[in-house]
Amino acid sequence: MKKLSTSEAGRLGYVASKEAIKNFNRAKHLRSVEKYNKCPKVCPHCKTLIHYESRKNKFCSRSCSIYHTKRKRGFKKGVEVLCFNCGKKTKKNARKYCSSNCFHEYKWKLKKEQIYLNGRVTEIRQAKKYLKEVRGDSCQMCGNTTWLGKPILLMCDHINGNSQDWRL
């Protein structure tokens, strides 16, 4: 028999150990598949068996997951809900408002109450909108609503000169 060099012996040892590791992993995989198949997971919605490759999933498909979680949360078609803003009955899927306009009106009502109680706003748009609703579209000094045939624009000034002071 021929004497092997160190590199050849190392190469042969590498090939043999690589093959042994591959066989070990294959046997380990087969054991785990066999163990899983004894007691496989079942989809909670459609009661079908979940394959070994998908064993980490709770449901067999995305559609089962969506249907099951929606049903679980109480999303039911045709449920009558009262709108928070106007109180109108609507058939919506678990919404609080009948429309996006109602939602924005409700938010503005809450903001108006907050401005009334605190006497402060956080931005100029809110100040202008609030003043238009409360005091109307007229000059606060003279009471005119038009100037040279055009409507008067609302101008807001900081009386004390502090640009961070938004008191009304």
pTM over 0.85: no
Please check whether residue 122 is in contact with residue 166, taking contact to mean a CB–CB distance below 8 angstroms: yes
Please check whether residue 156 is in contact with residue 131, taking contact to mean a CB–CB distance below 8 angstroms: yes
Residue 116 in tokens: 């009334």
Residues 111-157 pLDDT 10s = 999 988 888 888 888 888 888 888 888 887 888 888 899 988 887 77
Output the pLDDT for position 96. Answer: 82
Please check whether residue 82 is in contact with residue 74, taking contact to mean a CB–CB distance below 8 angstroms: no
